[in-house]
Amino acid sequence: MPTLYHAPNTRSTSILHLIEEMGIADQIDVLKVNIVREVDTEAADTRNPHPEKKVPYLIDGEDHLRERGAIVTYLTDMFPDTGLGRPVGHPQRGEFLSWLFYYQGVVEPVLLLSSAKIEHPLLHETFRDMDAVTASLTTALAHQPYLLGEDYSAVDLLLSSPFHWLPDAVPPLPPIQDWIKRCANRPALAKVMQKEGANTQA
Ligand SMILES: N[C@@H](CCC(=O)N[C@@H](CS)C(=O)NCC(=O)O)C(=O)O
């Protein structure tokens, strides 16, 4: 059975949310570990096999995974009938992977750079900016409730996740605001957040 290394109210919470959405909680072991957080003095946990002691981290037999996009792909491929992913051969497989990699490679860096108010021509050339991220989301959501169409998927879960923690970063545009609300109102997320307790991220 795969094991997820998790610390409450962190980026690994989105993987717990995914597991809940997929209805596979009885098929994944979740091991809570301590991580070093900005706001406290918890020590990194020696039980955490992540090379940098971060979460999430997933182990399945001999295989090890870091990065949420990779873990989302792995789990949705492993349990294709849950409908949250787009398996190999699905007509939206490329779109699904593009959103996940765009999130990891562009959206999260842009959000953090923008929150930290860091600008540099090289950064702009590589990642563009919040306006470009906003334009991508706006185009996708112009005529449909979710990024891949009529149905909620793992890309909505991952792409909307930072906005639940960074409300000031939400672009002031109704299609994006409404999509974030739809994604925030998932019963599976409420269930996970109730278990997680506090509402702060590492
Ligand atoms: N890009 C990674 C980021 C993982 C990450 O930075 N996790 C934070 C928690 S939100 C962490 O484990 N921090 C502990 C540390 O930096 O030691 C992902 O999306 O999976």
Please report the domains of the chain, with CATH numbers, ordered by start residue. 3-85+189-196 (3.40.30.10), 93-186 (1.20.1050.10)
Predicted confidence at residue 201, as pLDDT, reads 43
Beta carbon of 56 within 6 Å of any ligand 1 atom: yes
What number is the average pLDDT over the span 62-67? 98
Mutate to test the pocket of ligand 1, among 40, 54, 112 (most ligand atoms within 8 A of CB): 54
Beta carbon of 161 within 6 Å of any ligand 1 atom: no
Q: How confident is residue 40, by pLDDT bands cut at 50, 70 and 90?
A: low
Average pLDDT of the chain is 94
Place of tokens 């590589």: 126
Q: How confident is residue 202, by pLDDT bands cut at 50, 70 and 90?
A: very low
pLDDT value at 133 more than 80: yes
What number is the average pLDDT over the span 103-119? 96
Of 79, 91, 62, give the one whose Cα is nearest residue 26. 79
Least confident of 29-38, 93-102, 132-141, 155-164: 29-38
Beta carbon of 53 within 6 Å of any ligand 1 atom: yes
CA–centroid distance, residue 198 to ligand 1 (Å): 18
Ligand 1 atom nearest the C-alpha of 201 is 10
Cα separations (Å) of 63 from 1, 69, 70? 12, 16, 12
CA distance 47 to 62: 16
- pLDDT tens digits, one per residue of 140-155: 999 999 999 999 999 9
CA–centroid distance, residue 11 to ligand 1 (Å): 6
Q: How confident is residue 200, by pLDDT bands cut at 50, 70 and 90?
A: very low
Predicted confidence at residue 70, as pLDDT, reads 98
Predicted confidence at residue 199, as pLDDT, reads 44
Ligand 1 atom nearest the C-alpha of 10 is 10
Least confident of 40-44, 126-130, 196-200: 196-200
Of 2, 13, 4, give the one whose Cα is nearest residue 197. 13
pLDDT value at 2 more than 70: yes
Q: How confident is residue 39, by pLDDT bands cut at 50, 70 and 90?
A: low
Predicted confidence at residue 41, as pLDDT, reads 62
Ligand 1 atom nearest the C-alpha of 37 is 14
Q: Is 31 helix (H, G, I), strand (E, B) or coil?
A: strand
Angle between the N-to-C axes of helices 68-78 and 93-102, in degrees from 0 to 180, rounded to the nearest 10: 150
Beta carbon of 70 within 6 Å of any ligand 1 atom: no
